[in-house]
């Protein structure tokens, strides 16, 4: 990396201290891409101009590190994730917080993610394990290294797409653009860069972790929803479909009539608890993804 570009990125990172790591990653990627493209164009079109002058001119057009940091802070304050919690000012009572989840869009988005995550986890795990195994198996063949490079690039793509999904459903700010990758002179240099990129290997670990995590999320959510539905729909299940609360070959247990309202109320309360659980799991998973998919 040009020392001038590296110095500018260091200043920009310092100016962005305290900002969200995903914001810092996007800002650094934008700045690096702009400066490198300006340098490459200048070398082709005006090779007589020195590198230092070209980069200084590109920085002047792009903006100083402090100006860019201020602009990103302003943009972030106006472009928060759709599902980010933005509760009204003032302290809510415990009952208001508990029952308020019923009208919280983020709770339903988190609930959907807990169910949808099983598909994501299965795909991520299958693609990662298959890709690693196949890459290792054919590494000695002529197509081995190109396939390994393709697999590692796909891993970076999965990290970006998963970040978009998490930001949309769980409200956690994630990178919105890929990390800028300066085109190396040849494919061997690019492969070497990918093999030495810690973010690629952290994403691989994350993809493998997603299967057990998604099974846990799905199992807890679907079980809790089933219990809630069983309690809430108890009058319909017993009076309309003739399904007892419990039964064996010798006996059946039916809910006493005076307990039917209690069962319905418990079903509603259990559903609210399920929404709170989904929000909690979503928050936990957001932190895991932030740690694994965002560059430090």
What is the count of structural domains for the chain? 2
Q: How confident is the model at residue 124 (pLDDT cuts 50, 70, 90)?
A: very high
pLDDT at 141 (0 to 100): 82
Q: Establish if 5 belongs to a structural domain.
A: yes
Residue where a domain stops, chosen among 28, 56, 80? 80
Picking from 146, 149, 163, the residue whose alpha carbon sits closest to that of residue 203 is: 163
Q: Establish if 139 belongs to a structural domain.
A: yes
Q: Establish if 270 belongs to a structural domain.
A: yes
Residue where a domain stops, chosen among 80, 101, 133? 80
Are the beta carbons of 83 and 169 closer than 8 angstroms? yes
Q: Establish if 272 belongs to a structural domain.
A: yes
Its domain, for residue 202, covers 92-296
- Reported pTM: 0.83
pLDDT beyond 70 at 184: no
Q: Establish if 74 belongs to a structural domain.
A: yes
Q: How confident is the model at residue 182 (pLDDT cuts 50, 70, 90)?
A: low
Instruction: Identify the residue whose tokens are 């201290």.
Output: 17
pLDDT at 58 (0 to 100): 81
pLDDT digits (tens, 9 = 90+) for 29-42: 988 888 888 877 87
Q: Establish if 217 belongs to a structural domain.
A: yes
User: How many residues are listed for the chain in this entry?
Assistant: 296
Same domain, 99 and 208: yes
Same domain, 102 and 11: no
**Which one is predicted more confidently, 77 or 196?**
196
Distance, CA of 264 to CA of 258 (rounded, Å)? 11
pLDDT at 160 (0 to 100): 93
DSSP result, 182-195: PPPSSHHHHHHHHH
Mean pLDDT over the full length of the chain: 86
Picking from 266, 246, 150, 156, the residue whose alpha carbon sits closest to that of residue 200 is: 156
pLDDT digits (tens, 9 = 90+) for 201-224: 999 999 999 999 999 999 999 999
Q: Establish if 161 belongs to a structural domain.
A: yes
Same domain, 167 and 270: yes
DSSP assigned state of 18? T
Same domain, 28 and 59: yes
Same domain, 143 and 201: yes
Give the pair of three-digit tokens for residue 42: 């200048």
Same domain, 76 and 121: no
pLDDT at 51 (0 to 100): 73
pLDDT beyond 80 at 145: yes
pLDDT at 84 (0 to 100): 59
DSSP result, 96-115: HHHHHGGG-HHHHHHHHHHH
pLDDT at 83 (0 to 100): 59
Same domain, 40 and 135: no
Q: How confident is the model at residue 142 (pLDDT cuts 50, 70, 90)?
A: confident
pLDDT at 46 (0 to 100): 74
Q: Give the other-Cβ count within 10 Å of 181's Cβ.
A: 16
Same domain, 96 and 76: no
Same domain, 125 and 32: no
Q: Establish if 86 belongs to a structural domain.
A: no
User: Which range, 14-18, 112-116, 250-254, 291-295, has the best average confidence (pLDDT)?
Assistant: 112-116
Same domain, 151 and 264: yes
pLDDT digits (tens, 9 = 90+) for 150-172: 899 899 999 999 999 999 999 99
């Amino acid at each position: 990396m040009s020392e001038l570009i590296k110095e500018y990125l260091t200043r920009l990172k310092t100016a962005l201290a305290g900002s969200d790591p995903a914001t810092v990653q996007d800002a650094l990627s934008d700045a690096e891409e702009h400066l490198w493209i300006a340098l490459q164009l200048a070398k082709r079109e005006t090779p007589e101009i020195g590198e230092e002058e070209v980069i200084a001119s590109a920085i002047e057009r792009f903006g100083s590190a402090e100006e860019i940091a201020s602009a990103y802070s302003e943009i972030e304050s106006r472009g928060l994730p759709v599902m980010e919690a933005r509760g009204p000012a003032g302290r809510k009572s415990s009952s208001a917080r508990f029952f308020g989840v019923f009208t919280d869009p983020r709770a339903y988005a988190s609930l959907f993610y807990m169910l949808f995550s099983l598909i994501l986890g299965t795909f991520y795990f299958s693609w990662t394990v298959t890709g690693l195994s196949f890459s290792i198996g054919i590494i000695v063949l002529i197509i081995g290294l190109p396939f390994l490079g393709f697999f590692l690039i796909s891993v970076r793509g999965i990290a970006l797409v998963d970040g978009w999904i998490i930001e949309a459903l769980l409200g956690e700010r994630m990178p919105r653009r890929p990390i800028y990758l300066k085109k190396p002179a040849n494919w061997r240099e690019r492969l070497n860069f990918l093999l030495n990129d810690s973010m690629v290997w952290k994403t691989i670990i994350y993809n493998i972790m997603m299967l057990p995590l998604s099974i846990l999320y799905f199992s807890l959510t679907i079980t809790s929803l089933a219990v809630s539905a069983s309690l809430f729909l108890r009058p319909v299940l017993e009076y309309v479909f003739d399904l007892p609360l419990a039964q064996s070959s010798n006996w059946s247990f039916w809910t006493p009539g005076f307990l039917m309202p209690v069962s319905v109320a418990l079903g509603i309360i259990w559903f609210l608890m399920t929404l709170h659980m989904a929000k909690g799991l979503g928050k936990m998973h957001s932190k895991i993804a932030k740690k694994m998919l965002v560059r430090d």
